[in-house]
């Protein structure tokens, strides 16, 4: 192809693109309305803060939770967790049907996830944290290692006890 033919092809392509661009319909100009001031409704006279926005009362939640958790190779694990008002805890676990001594541990506890989750952080760093869903003031449910609910009909709940 000669230089003249190449130049002509280039010009033809350029003119075609220019013509197509000129034919493209333009969007109508939008006139922006002035921004309205946001309206904040006044709180009702009897409005109360939601449970999630209220600060968690650690001292009121502290107490003893007991129950029997499922066991893979025994009838169950008798579990007792004592949550102290100072943020520390102790745990004792006895495997039913075994002559093994009771397992004991301790550490600190915190409430997370908008007051919906309890985390036990053991002093022994070789032990994993344990997490529980807070079902109510009087009941917690063990979660898996990732903090997700355990899908099972087995009893993973511990209930508040007097001791």
- Which of these, 142, 147, 127, 152, lies nearest to 65 by C-alpha position? 142
130-136 vs 117-122, strand pairing mode:
antiparallel
Give the tens place of pLDDT for each residue, 122-162.
999 899 999 999 999 999 999 999 999 999 999 999 999 98
Amino acid 159: pLDDT: 98
Amino acid 54: pLDDT: 64
Amino acid 1: pLDDT: 53
Q: Indicate if the alpha-carbon torsion angle 150, 128, 63, 108 is positive or negative.
A: negative
Amino acid 130: pLDDT: 96
Amino acid 39: pLDDT: 40
Q: At 147, is the secondary structure helix, strand, or coil?
A: coil
Fold topology of 59-161: Lipocalin (2.40.128)
Amino acid 27: pLDDT: 46
Alpha-carbon distance of 101 to 94, in angstroms, equals 7
CB 104 within 8 A of CB 90: yes
Amino acid 57: pLDDT: 84
- How long is the chain? 163
pLDDT less than 50: residues of the chain: 3-51
Q: Which residues contact 137 (CB under 8 A, 6 or more apart)?
A: 60, 61, 160
Amino acid 56: pLDDT: 75
């Amino acid at each position: 192809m000669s230089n003249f033919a190449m130049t002509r092809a280039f010009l033809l392509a350029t003119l075609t693109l220019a013509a197509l661009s000129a034919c493209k319909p333009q969007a109508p100009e939008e006139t922006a309305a002035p921004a309205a001031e946001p309206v904040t409704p006044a709180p009702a006279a009897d409005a109360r803060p939601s449970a999630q926005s209220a600060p968690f009362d650690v001292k009121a939640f502290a107490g003893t939770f007991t129950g029997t958790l499922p066991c893979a190779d025994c009838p169950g694990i008798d579990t007792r967790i004592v949550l102290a008002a100072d943020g520390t805890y102790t745990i004792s676990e006895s495997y039913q049907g075994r002559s093994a001594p009771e397992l004991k541990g301790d550490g600190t506890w915190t409430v997370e996830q908008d007051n919906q989750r309890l985390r036990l952080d053991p002093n022994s760093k070789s032990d994993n944290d344990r997490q529980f869903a807070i079902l109510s003031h009087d009941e917690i449910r063990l979660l898996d290692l990732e903090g997700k609910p355990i899908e099972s009909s087995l009893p993973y709940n511990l209930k508040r006890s007097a001791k």
